[in-house]
Structures are given as C-alpha cells and as structure tokens.
Amino acid sequence: MRPITATLINLYHICHRELWLHAHEVRMEFFSDAVQDGKQLHETAYPQRADRNREIMLGGSKIDFYDPKTKVVHEIKRGNKAEQAHVAQVKYYLWLLEQHGAPGATGLLEYPRLRQTQKVELLPEDYAAIAAWEADIRCIVESEQCPPVINKPFCKQCSYYELCYVDE
C-alpha cells in the first residue's frame, strides 16, 4: 500500500467509502465545482501572505503553507462543515513535522469565507489516536470490498454522489 497521507486522514473522518475509492484511484474531483472553487480560494484568499511560507512535502503529504519562522501550518478550507476532519488533517501535519525533526509546530485552520480561524495543537492523547487512524485506514484500504454508502445529507454535495447512488 502507498503511504498514508493527510488526504486519507481527512477522508477517513468524512466517509470510509470515499477513502477506499480515493485510495484505489477512482477520482472524481476533476469534475467537482466545489473542488475547483477550493483551488481558486486557495490561490486568492491571502494575497499578502508572507513569502516565507513554503509548500513542503512530507512522506507523500503536502503542506500548502508552512512558515518555518513561526512554525505555523496554515490550512485553508471553504467551509467548516467537516471541521473535525480538518482538525484531524492539521494534527496529522503537526505529527508528520515532528516525525521529520521539526517538533513544536502549531496549526491554523483558516476559513476565509467565514472570516474565522482556529488554532490546532498536537496534544499528548493525539499520538495514540493518530496511530489508531492509520491502522484503521490500512485495514479499510486493503480490504477487497468497498465500504457501503453512508446515506448522509452531505452526500449530495460530494463529487462521488452520482457514482455512489446511481443504480439503474
């Protein structure tokens, strides 16, 4: 299996089926307006952001903005509906940074549309949680069987909606 990435951690907290499909490279985001919109937001939300922010790759995961001076990871999201998934993703970044010899970083979840930001820190109890997520993700992705649909209201907004629910 390919390495676990922050994207998978995020999906794990949203929908196990989407996680499985994404990990098996059945991708839908190319057609999703929401994804396009997110990309746009990402490029335009903070035009004055300092140049010292860097994009860094850590074992297959990509952190979009990392400020090495203040040790802050910035993560921009459109809306806060899946907030706990966003928090999990940022915690994973912080954990990854620590694994790669940069401990003590903090995270900042940014919702420019909502004019809100939220601080994220890696807490002692998160280490066990992250290990559990990883184990669970491995288990789901390695299964031959794709997890069933979850039938949640937010499915309708998902780019996989039609794939999941079309049956005849």
Partner 1 sequence: MKKSLYIFNPGRMSRQDNTLKYTAYDEEGAEGQTKFLPIENVADLYVFGSLDANSALYNFLGKNGVSVHFFDYYEHYTGSFMAKEYLLAGRLQVAQTGHYTSLKKRLVVARKLVEGAAFNLLKNLRYYQGRGRQVAEEIAQIELYVSGLPYATTIAELMGYEGNIRQTYYRCFEQLVNVPGFTFSSRSTQPPQNELNALLSFGNMLCYAACLSQIYHTQLNPTISFLHEPGSRRFSLALDLAEIFKPLLVDRTIFRLLNKKEIQPRDFVRELDGCLLKEAGRKTFVRVFEERLKETIQHRRLNRSVSYQHLIKLECYKLTKHLLNMEEYQPFKAWW
Rule CB under 8 A: which residues touch partner 1?
Answer: 24-27, 30-31, 144-146, 161-163, 165-168
What's the closest the beta carbon of residue 27 comes to partner 1, in angstroms? 6
What's the closest the beta carbon of residue 38 comes to partner 1, in angstroms? 18
Minimum CB distance to partner 1 smaller for 20 or for 92? 20
What's the closest the beta carbon of residue 162 comes to partner 1, in angstroms? 6
Minimum CB distance to partner 1 smaller for 58 or for 164? 164
Minimum CB distance to partner 1 smaller for 44 or for 145? 145
What's the closest the beta carbon of residue 77 comes to partner 1, in angstroms? 25
On the CB side of 62, CA atoms within 13 Å amount to 3
Task: Encode 41-107 in three state secondary structure.
Answer: HHHHCCCCCCCCCEEEEECCEEEEEEECCCCEEEEECCCCCCHHHHHHHHHHHHHHHHHCCCCCCEE
Three-state SS at 37: helix
